Amino acid sequence: MSEFFSERLGATGINKHYLLGHDAAAALLVDGRLVAAVEEERLNREKKTTDFPTHAIDWCLKEGGITFDDVDVFAFPWNWTPQVLDEIRDGIRTSPLPQDAKTRLMADMGDLFEQVVSHEAMLADFEARTGHRPHPAKVRFVPHHLAHATTGYYLAGLKDCAFLVSDGRAERFSSLTGEIRDGRITVFEDSVIGAQHSMGTLFSSLTRFLGFVPNNDEYKVMGLAGYAVPPTPNPFLDNLLTLHDDGRYSFSKPLQTDDLRSHDALFEEYFGPFEDTLAYTSRVAAAAQQMLNVATAHQIGHLERKTDLDRLLFEGGVALNCLNNTPLFEGSRFEDMQVSFGASDTGITIGAAAHAWLGDPGTGSTDIVAAAAAPVTPYLGPDYDEAEIEEALAGFAGRVVFSRLDDDQVVEQAAELLTQKVVIGYFEGRVEHGPRALGHRSIIANPGFDDMKDIINTRVKHREPFRPFAPLVLEEQAPKIFEMGRKTSSPYMTFVFPVRDEYKDRIPGAVHVDGTSRIQTLTHEGTPRLTALLRRFTELTGTPCLINTSFNVAGEPIVCTPTDALNCFMGTEIDYLVLGNHLVTRSDDY
């Protein structure tokens, strides 16, 4: 896939993640229970890889103790049919593109279908990469946005819900709404928005315009938005975005989805020639953020009138814009809103598998009830026992020193260390699924120091100084520290809340410039040792939060193996490494 996009559509370098195929992953359900899921990037070490998830599939099978012959259903989170291709070509024919561009694009789409995304092409690729050809009766192709919706539904406990899915593009669409009742999806057809009016793709174009990597760095644009207020008037609202009575929106200038730069001239018309300054980039980001907030609130307002359900799921890459999620929920009538840890394309393999399982006539109601009762954790990837950790440590002999501790000692010693101005790499248990580090492959630090954000950004993460950090907070203490409104928890860093005034000076390292924080709430049931560590740290310092950021450096995936963790530790200015039950420091010679 990556070769086709690079040769035909120029998706190389900074643009390599712009089109389809990023965030390769695999997941395994056994009797309706999610037993394994991992992104390919964690294993092949290529961030946002477009490669076939060979390693992820192999690991899931191994984790489940099965072979391909034991698999009842193979589910793919795409459904490119000949009808989809015909509809895409019809859209190209009626577009305002010059005729030669239409001809070229129609040929490219035909070749994309035949060589990459058709059912036959996907099965042939699967066979070439795995050596196994699934029997046709065992194969399900799940439309991309339905896979997104089912991911949220499954991870939220299979409860009836309304949903909004919004991302860059799928087979033809970028966004839609609907309901899920008793495992059956109803799409509200009048809510469907085509790819040429994609909010996700527009944000990708903006991300590229501002000098970042599209389909990768949109969270940087979100962070920049906090440094400015939206301009008045906002040209995105006044000149580009049109809201329709049926809950949809459109752009006055439709996107050319094969051309990442199709709107650059428009951006410069609105904001002037590009300037690589915080003042310029934050003003554009704030204007774009306001546009996204208005557009999604419009969609939710219409969805409220279409459904009598009181739960809302928001899935797809746009749902990772957590700056939007809190006001979106607070401005709605829904009693609860959830954004799962699998909201981006990393999670759609879970949704595809769940969709196939729910639609399998062999699935009994007992299986569904049992699966719904089982808690779903984001910690679904590989883990490593003490013997594997010590084997990795042996490979760094002479460069590190370490001591082996029990869990209580890890909690006590790490909490004591964190009372100082130090940075700790924290590695335990199974790898978390999704784009956020949720405490199993994290870097943690004391947010009570004013300069801690700068220390981590420059000396450890090697990234832009404007980037904020998320605080870990005990779930029962979160409403005391943050203005959470109707939310009571945020376990996956998918909501942003204002920090209460009396705590801003107590956790300055975890407060963004606009006075907010993207929090992760902890419970003993979800993360017992990390929760105990935070509780002990609070007892020692009176500071009720810890900084949590992903255990990696800019441009690399989050660490997976003990060796990955040791390499990252040795290549940065991280002070200590908690590696399972080992406390690791550098030897005096390093």
Reply yes or no on whether the pLDDT at 17 is more than 50: no
**pLDDT confidence band for 18 (50 / 70 / 90):** very low
d(Cα 480, Cα 482) in Å, to the nearest integer?
A: 6
Encode pLDDT of 543-573 as tens digits: 999 999 999 998 899 999 999 999 999 999 9
CA atoms within 13 A on the CB side of 245: 0
Tokens 């400015």, residue? 228
CATH 3.30.420.40 residue ranges for the chain: 2-80+118-145+344-372, 193-338
543's tokens: 């500071």
Specify the pLDDT at position 362: 64
More confident residue, 360 or 117: 117
Specify the pLDDT at position 54: 97
Are β-strands 441-445 and 545-550 bridged in parallel, bridged antiparallel, or unpaired?
A: antiparallel
CATH topology of domain 2-80+118-145+344-372: Nucleotidyltransferase; domain 5 (3.30.420)
* Span 386-586 CATH architecture: Alpha-Beta Complex (3.90)
Name, in order, each residue with C-beta under 8 angstroms of 136's C-beta and a sequence gap of 6 or more: none
Q: Which element (helix H / strand E) includes 29? A: strand 25-30
DSSP one-letter string for 319-359: GG-HHHHHHHHHTSS-SEEE--TT-STTSHHHHHHHHHHHT
Encode pLDDT of 322-362 as tens digits: 999 999 999 999 999 999 999 999 999 999 999 999 987 66
**Edge-to-edge strand ranges of the sheet holding 576-579:** 400-404, 582-586, 576-579, 423-427, 441-445, 545-550, 470-474, 520-522
pTM above 0.85, yes or no: yes
Name, in order, each residue with C-beta under 8 angstroms of 399's C-beta and a sequence gap of 6 or more: 570, 586, 587, 589, 590
Rg value, the chain, Cα: 24
Tokens 């006001």, residue? 327
Encode pLDDT of 309-320 as tens digits: 999 999 999 999
Alpha-carbon distance values, 488 to 113, 337, 503 (Å): 45, 11, 18
**pLDDT confidence band for 101 (50 / 70 / 90):** confident
**pLDDT confidence band for 374 (50 / 70 / 90):** confident
Encode pLDDT of 206-249 as tens digits: 999 999 999 889 999 999 999 999 999 999 999 999 999 999 99
d(Cα 582, Cα 590) in Å, to the nearest integer?
A: 19
Q: Can you say how many angstroms the Cα of residue 24 is from the centroid of all Cα atoms in its chain?
A: 12
Helices (H) then strands (E): counts for the chain: 22, 22
Specify the pLDDT at position 7: 56
CATH topology of domain 193-338: Nucleotidyltransferase; domain 5 (3.30.420)
356's tokens: 């196939």
**pLDDT confidence band for 519 (50 / 70 / 90):** very high
What percentage of residues in the chain have a pLDDT greater than 70?
A: 94
Mean pLDDT across 171-178: 95
Reply yes or no on whether the pLDDT at 199 is more than 80: yes
Specify the pLDDT at position 467: 87
